[in-house]
Amino acid sequence: MTADEIRDHLDPIRDQFAEERSLVLPALKFAQTEKGHVTREDMEAVAEAVNLSPAYVESIASFYDRIYTSPTGERIVSVCVSLSCMLNGSDELLEHLCASEGVPHEGNHAGGTSADGRITVQEAQCLGACDRAPCLQVDAEETMGPVSLDDADGQLQRLRSETAPRPMLR
């Protein structure tokens, strides 16, 4: 994404902040909607658009779980592994999803992107849907539960049959 495109996106909200620096996170989130992650060039464009150094922008990007600095699958499936979901089977759900997608699941650390590049499975901390444990989230706006192993298979099938929505919300 170019610095001009980012500037155009930020212009309507610029006057809502006393300091321009506040725009760095909205800029990163916007830049990410194009490819689903931010590249070095994207971070340089963000830096130019908000008048900060690329190194500073990277320090912000690396702080947040939901800013991805390396490529992900077309869709991201986040499985909540917090306590309420664990009690309702999130470990089993995560293992099942990892096995289905052929991505690693070792000890406490699981996840990765499927060989066809369609789906990234990852662990998430509490997604705020404990009333529907075990829950999962697709990208950033679809949260669902309780997800049985059959439901999980159905969701993977659905995601493979869909084209990823644009802009990509992570």
Partner 1 sequence: MPELNSVYRHREAGHVLTDVSSYRDAGGYAALAHAINERTPDEVLYAITRSGLRGRGGAGFPTGRKASFLPKDAQLAKYLVCNADESEPGTFKDREIMELNPHQLIEGMVIAAYAIGAERGYIYIRGEYEYQAQVLDAAITAAREAGYLGADVAGSGYALDLTLYRGAGAYICGEETGLLESLEGKRGQPRLKPPFPAVKGLWASPTLLNNVETLAAIPPIIEQGPDWYAAMGTEKSPGTKIFSVSGHVTKPGNYEVILGETTLRELIFDLAGGFREGRSFKACWVGGSSVPVLAEQHLDTPLDYESLMEAGTFLGSGGCIVMDDSGCIVRASLRLASFYRHESCGKCTPCREGTGWMENVLQRIADGDGRMEDLELMESLFGRIGGNCLCALADGAVAPISSAIKLFRDDFARAITNGGTERPEPMAPAVALTGGRAGA
Contacting residues toward partner 1, per CB under 8 A: 13, 16-26, 28-29, 50, 59-60, 63-67, 78, 81-84, 86-92, 108, 124-135, 137, 139-148, 151, 169-170
Least separation, in Å, of the C-beta of 17 and partner 1? 8
Task: Specify the residue, 96 or 115, whose C-beta has the smaller distance to partner 1.
Answer: 96
How distant, in Å, are the alpha carbons of 34, 75, 134, 159 from that of 37? Answer: 8, 11, 27, 19
Shortest Cβ distance from residue 115 to partner 1 (Å)?
26
Choose between 69 and 112: whose C-beta lies nearer to partner 1: 69
Phi and psi, residue 136, nearest 5° = -140, 160
Euclidean distance between CA atoms 110 and 75, whole angstroms: 17
In this complex, which beta carbon is closest to partner 1, that of residue 13 or of residue 99? 13
**How crowded is the C-beta side of 110, counted as CA atoms within 13 Å?**
27
**Which residue, 45 or 124, has its beta carbon nearer to partner 1?**
124
Residue 90, Cβ density class (10 Å: 0-12 exposed, 13-18 middle, ≥19 buried) = buried
Taking the C-alpha atoms of residue 135 and residue 52, their distance in angstroms, rounded to an integer, is 38
Cα–Cα–Cα angle for 2, 7, 12, rounded to 5 degrees: 150
Rank residues 119 and 147 by Cβ distance to partner 1 and give the closer one: 147
